[in-house]
Amino acid sequence: MAKMKALVCRECGKEYPTKAIHVCEMCFGPLEVKYNYEEIKKNISRKKIQDGPQSIWRYADLLPVEGPTFLGPHAGMTPLVRAKNLGAYLGLDELYIKNDTVNHPTLSFKDRVVAVAITRARELGFETIACASTGNLANSVAAHAAAAGMRAYVFIPGDLEAAKVLGNLIYKPNVVEVEGNYDDVNRLCSEIAGEYAWAFVNINVRPYYAEGSKTLAYETVEQLDWRTPDQVVIPMASGSLLTKIWKGLHEMKTLGLVDDVRTKINGAQAEGCSPISTAFKAGRDFFKPVKPKTIAKSLAIGNPADGYYALKATAESKGSMDMVSDDEVVEGIKLLAQTEGIFAETAGGVTIGVLQKLVKQGTIKKGDVTVAYITGNGLKTQEAVMDAVGKPHRIQPSLASFEKTFKMGKHGGGDA
């Protein structure tokens, strides 16, 4: 029997065939893949996973594709870095960075979800792939489409960072810059998706696409030698990533890959766009949409599709949420770079900033095994830190000029 049983509405439970649809006709609730866990359990084991490819496809049994051909064959299995320096700085004994700044091929966690979405889109017979994006997703769709020989349309807001725009154009998809913010782009794309037979990865293919994020949970547990962390800190835009990490952890328990899940899920947003964190702090289970204004553009979703479920997952796990200012985002990026040698984009600054806050508050404790998810690469958001990192020392090509600048003593080791 197939591992996918149906698509099922999270709200009213109505079932649909596993096609390119994402919304329940009856109540507008989101559709989610319903798996045959009994069947999957018979096939899966720690050993089978460990013997699999060095990519997300080692977890293919838990992903909503039929296979055996997978597009995006190198996504995932990014390093889980033991962050001793940052841990010591923050006062944490066992801190890890899940480093998706080096994901393949476009340096963000979106390579995971797009690999799943484009594989499924191909299986469903689509020739054109599209997305609404704050940048990273567009880059990944464009790159995967080029490699798969598919036509692509990527829709982005008009104010993106230069590297995220260039990082689309180079692959030659149709890049559509919409005069408006991400929420405008998203609404427009929802309407366009109704008119054309395209695979919009985060609209009509969203039930499959979103499942790709679960691999961040699976990899973390495997890389921790089959332990679940005590605390995770996850950046939130739509809230989808957070809900899928939560889901992934629980699936591992369902399948007997881990004994128990006691992980507390913590969500991170920037103050200039924090509808989910604000609702959490106010004790509400619904959010009010906002007009984003933050340098963390990859998280600038004022009307987060999974905000409701992110609030639910965080509450269920007894975790927390918080937000940081743009200055704290920049400081977070610098702190991670200068302690661990990892250059994260603005979303990473949000995660590190909130991690620091949660430790200071005592929400995350010294002995907690903690994982911070760093989902994108700093080279794509250089504008954010350009004025905060100083300038190089400019010298003449002479020893004297060098030594004058660095005030070297006889044995070297001076600083400018």
Q: Between residues 286 and 407, which has the closer beta carbon with respect to other proteins? A: 286
351 within 8 A of 231, measured Cβ to Cβ: no
How near is the Cβ of 72 to other proteins at its closest, in Å? 19
**Rule CB under 8 A: which of 21-50 touch other proteins?**
22-30
Is residue 104 within 8 Å of residue 74, measured between CB atoms? yes
- List binders of other proteins among 346-405 (CB under 8 A): none
Q: Residue from 203, 276, 321, 352 that binds other proteins (CB under 8 A)?
A: 203
Q: Based on the shown chain and the rule CB under 8 A, indicate whether residue 132 belongs to the binding site for other proteins.
A: yes
Q: Which residue among 220, 238, 266, 314 contacts other proteins (CB under 8 A)?
A: 238
CB of 34 to other proteins, least distance (A): 16
88 binds other proteins (CB under 8 A): no
- The 160-189 contact track toward other proteins, x by CB under 8 A, reads --------------------x-xxx-xx-x
Least CB distance to other proteins at residue 138 (A)? 12
- Nearest distance from residue 414's CB to other proteins, in Å? 49
| 132 vs 384, beta carbon nearer other proteins | 132
Sign for the CA dihedral angle at 326, 331, 335, 341 comes to positive
**Taking CB under 8 A as the rule, does residue 202 contact other proteins?**
yes
Which residues, 6 or more positions from 226, have their beta carbon under 8 angstroms from its beta carbon? 46, 257, 258
Task: Please count the helices (runs of H) and the strands (runs of E) in the chain.
Answer: 15, 13
Alpha helix stretches (DSSP H) within 170-209: 182-193, 206-209
Counting contacts by CB under 8 A, is residue 237 touching other proteins? yes
CA distances from 237 to 62, 64, 149, 247, 257 (A): 24, 23, 30, 17, 29
CB of 319 to other proteins, least distance (A): 19
CA distances from 153 to 134, 142, 157, 172, 175 (A): 14, 8, 13, 10, 6
When asked if residue 13 is in the footprint of other proteins (CB under 8 A), the reply is no
CB of 213 or CB of 223, closer to other proteins = 213
Which two structure tokens, joined as six digits, stand for 12?
A: 């009213």
Q: Select from 18, 263, 303, 375 the one that contacts other proteins (CB under 8 A).
A: 303
Q: Which of 18, 23, 14 has its CA nearest to residue 6?
A: 18
Nearer to other proteins, 210 or 323 (CB): 210
- Where b means 16+ CB within 10 Å and e means fewer, 358-390 reads bbeeebbeeebbbbbbbbbbbebbeebbeeeee
- 10 versus 41: smaller Cβ distance to other proteins: 10
Decide: is 106 part of the binding site for other proteins (CB under 8 A). no
**Least distance (Å) between residue 288 CB and other proteins:** 7
CB burial of residue 16 (10 Å; 0-12, 13-18, 19+):
middle
Nearer to other proteins, 167 or 304 (CB): 304
Residue positions counted in the chain: 416
Nearest approach, Cβ of residue 357 and other proteins (Å): 23
Which H helix or E strand runs over 15?
strand 15-16
Q: Give the position of tokens 């890890």.
A: 96
- Shorter beta-carbon distance to other proteins: residue 21 or 224: 21
H helices of 255-345, where? Answer: 275-281, 307-316, 326-340
Segment (H or E) for 9: strand 4-9
**Part in contact with other proteins (CB under 8 A); list of ranges 50-58, 224-232, 283-291, 369-377:** 283-291
Residue 197 interacting with other proteins (CB under 8 A): no
- By CB under 8 A, residue 190 contacts other proteins: yes
- Residue 80, helix vs strand vs coil: strand
The token pair at 316 is 């269920």
Of the candidate spans 100-108, 238-246, 329-337, 348-356, the one that interacts with other proteins by CB under 8 A turns out to be 238-246
- Cα of first residue to Cα of last residue in the chain, in angstroms, is 68
The vertex-359 CA angle with 356 and 361, nearest 5°, equals 110
Structure tokens at 7: 């698509």
> Per rule CB under 8 A, is residue 124 in the interface with other proteins?
no
Decide if residue 206 touches other proteins (CB under 8 A): yes
Site for other proteins in 304-323 (CB under 8 A): 304-306, 308
- Binder to other proteins among 78, 103, 240, 346 (CB under 8 A)? 240
Applying CB under 8 A, the residues found at the interface with other proteins are: 11, 22-30, 132, 180, 182-184, 186-187, 189-191, 193-195, 202-203, 206, 210, 237-241, 286, 288-289, 291, 301, 303-306, 308
